[in-house]
Amino acid sequence: MSTPLPQSGGHSGQSEGGSPRRPRPRIETLADLIFGLSLAIDAIALLPAAATTPGDMNGRILIFSFAFVFLITAWLLYTTYMSVLPVDARGVTFLNVSLLLLVALIPYLLNNVELGDNPAIRDYSSSLFALDLAGILAILAVFAHVLGTEKRALVPREEARLFRNGRNRMGVLSVLMAISVAPVFWQATVLGVPARIYLWTLPLISYWLGRAIRPQSRTYKVSNGR
């Protein structure tokens, strides 16, 4: 996963450098609301049934922490892409709606993995959640592909290359998330935790470790007026 620095939405008009600012599309405002609601719902879903053991509480904290970090990471990528991606482009609106639906499903699916009534529900929920992650990563990869296409000239050439690299990473991660649906990844455990759950951390490791080791490959500026 890779992300340039997001541009602030702002109102239409002139920026300090004299270049025009792009008005903030309503879909971006809706996206901010949905990302925020997903985080809130994820926390509220843990309230009805109180934890009964320290291990139970630790598991719930880990589930919430994972959802929080993943949603924040996806939001950083999304707002970056939307700052330069033409929302009226063919297919972009449909992908936006699809992405937001997948984001809204995260709290429900993830909490069923932790709080499901029986093993079958937890297994099924974890499979759906893996597909949900795969879908989110695939859509972000498509956005990165559009921005990385030099013919569109949406970003400078050197930055288009970084978007293409990000597209490739997210494409691979999306495939890995889809592969993790295989039953063997739920049946095999490491320290009592299904291997499928460990695989879910790969997108976060890819983004944040890459950002720490090679900031220039994950953080770059998009010129004003784009």
| pLDDT beyond 80 at 116 | no
Rounded to whole angstroms, the Cα distance separating 23 from 29 reads: 11
Indicate whether this model's pTM tops 0.95.
no
Query: Rounded to an integer, what is the distance from CA 208 to the centroid of its chain?
Result: 13
pLDDT digits (tens, 9 = 90+) for 62-93: 877 888 888 888 888 888 887 777 766 667 77
Sketch the domain layout of the chain as residue ranges: 24-217
CB-neighbour burial class of residue 108 (10 A; exposed 0-12, middle 13-18, buried 19+)? middle
- Across 2-161, where does the E strand assignment appear? 13-14, 20-21
Confidence band of 14 (pLDDT split at 50, 70, 90): very low
pLDDT digits (tens, 9 = 90+) for 17-48: 444 445 455 666 767 778 777 777 766 666 55
Query: Rounded to an integer, what is the distance from CA 65 to the centroid of its chain?
Result: 14
Percent with pLDDT over 70 in the chain: 69
Count Cβ neighbours within 10 Å for each residue of 133-154 and write b for 16 or more, e otherwise.
Answer: bbbbbbbbbbbbbbbbeeeeeb
